[in-house]
A and B are shown apart, each in its own frame.
Chain A
Amino acid sequence: MTVEAATPQPSPAPGAEAGPLLEVEHVKVLFPVKSHTLVARTVAHVHAVDDVSFELREGETLGIVGESGCGKTTLIRTLVRLIDPTSGAIRFRGKDISSAGRRELEPIRREMQMVFQDPQASLNPHKRVDQILGTPLKLRGVGKDRLQPESRDLLTRVGLSPEHLNRFPHEFSGGQRQRIGIARALALGPRLILLDEPVSALDVSIQAQVINLLDDLQDEFTLSYVFVAHDLSVVRHVSDRIAVMYLGKIVEVSSAEELYSKPIHPYTSALLGAIPIPDPHENRARERRKAQGEPPSAINPPAGCRFHTRCPRATDICRAVEPQLSKYAGGHIAACHHPQNVSSTEVTAATRSDASPLSAGPDQPDYVP
C-alpha cells in the first residue's frame, strides 16, 4: 500500500522556531463607498476590519465568531490575500505578506489554504473531481504518473470513495462537496487552513461529520486552523481559543472553555444567550442577556466603544473613549470599560494588551459589581 508515500508531505515543521505561525498586527480593511454621479468618487468607507491583531501558534485552532457583517469573512479572506489590507501587517512564519506579489506569495499559499463557505459555489461545475484535485497537486510538483494515486489517497482521507474521481460536483451531496473542498485544500500540503464557515451550509448531522473530519485531519497532519463561524456551539467544539468580533473589531479573546463559563464582554454574553438549546423548557427557562436592536452601520461606526449603542452596561465613557483590550489572568483579553464576571482584584491586575487598537484610549477598565 502506498498510503504513506502518497501522504501530502508538508515541509518539515520548524519545531525549533518558537515564534507563532501567523501574526496579524493592526490589520485594517476599508472598502470605499462610491458615488457615481457623473464621475465615481469615494464618499465614505466601510470599516469591514478595523485594527485587528492576533496570533496563531502551530497546531492551534482559533475560532472567530460574530454576527453577520462583523467582518469575520473579510478578515480571513484578507489573510490569504484574496482582499488586500488597507494597512497593518500579516506575518506568516515571521514574513510579512500583507503587500507581497503573486510570485512572492506562491510558496506561502502552499502552506496556507482556505476552505469556503458554499460547497456548491466553491467547486467548478465543469470540472471532474480529478481535475479539481489535480490543479493543486500539480502546483505542488506532483508528477503526472503520481496524480491519480495521490488524488485517490486524498479522497480516502476525507472519507470519500476513490472511485468518485471521475465524477462531477453536481453528482455529490453538500457534505460530500465540502469534503472535496477540504481535499483540495489539503492537496497543497498546507500547515494552516482557513475555514470560512465550513459547515454553515450543511445539515446539522453532516456538520458533525465534517467537524470530526477536520479534527482528525488536524491530528494527522498537525494543521493549524482559523475557524470562522457565526455559530458559537460549532466553534466551541473545534477551537482552542476563540476571538469574538463586533463591527470589525475584536472585543474578546479567550480559551474556548473560559469564554463560555466566564464571558467578560457584554457582547459575548449576548452571543452566548443566542445559542438555541434543543430542549424548549430549558430554552425558555434560562435567563438571557440580549443585545438590543440591530448592529450599527459599518460605514459610520459609533464613537467610543462600538457596542455602546446596544450595551446594557454602557456609560458616558463608553460613548466617548474606545476601550483598550485589557489582559486578564490566563491570557483572557477583552475590550470593555465595565467588564463582567471578573473580581475587583482581577480588574486592577489587568494590563493593556499589545493587541489593543491604536486608537484605543489609555483608560483602565473599572470594576462594576
Chain B
Amino acid sequence: MNPGLNAALNSGMAPVATPWFFYALAGMAVVSALLVITLRNAVHAALALIVTLLSVASLYLMLYAPFVTGVQIVVYAGGIMVLFLFVIMLVNIERSSKEHRFNRIWPAGLAAACALLALFVSAFVKGKALFADRGMPLPESSNTQQIATMLYGEAGRMGQYTFAFEIASLLLLVAILGAVIMTKKKI
C-alpha cells in the first residue's frame, strides 16, 4: 500500500473516488442480480450473474482483498459459470423459455423474502453501533502471502487453517467423484 493512501486511511479519510465507485458497483451488482431472477432465458440470466460476480469481485478489491478478488474472478466467473453455461446448453431451453417463469405460489415466496428483508433491516437499524468502522487498514501488498501463511503454515509448522484446507480438498474430490458418477449413463 502506498504511504499516501495509508496516511489517508489512518486519519479516517477515505480515498477520493471511493464512494462513487462503491455506489456504482453496488448498483450494478444489485441490478444484475435482479436480472438473474427475472430474465426468461437461462443463458441471459447466466450472463447477468457473471456481471454480478465481477461487480462483487471489484467490491472485494475496495475492501483490500486482492487475493479473494482473483479467486472470485478465476473460480466463479471463469470456472463455475462455464459449468453453468455448459449445462444450460445440454438441457433444452426451448421448452422452458416458453413456460411461465414463476411458480404458482410466487406471492408467498415473495412475502417470505420480504419478511427476511425486514429482519435484516431491523437487525441493521438496531445493531448499527456494532458495525462501527474501526479504521484498521489491512496491508494490501502482503495480502496473498498472509493468506498463504494461514492456509499452509510457515517454517515447517502447520498453519491455522491447514487442516481445514485438507478437508476442503477432500470435499472437492468427493464432489468430482459424485458429479462424474451421477452423470454416467450406467453405473
On whether the two chains bind one another, the answer is: no
Residues of A within 8 A of B (CB): none
Residues of B within 8 A of A (CB): none
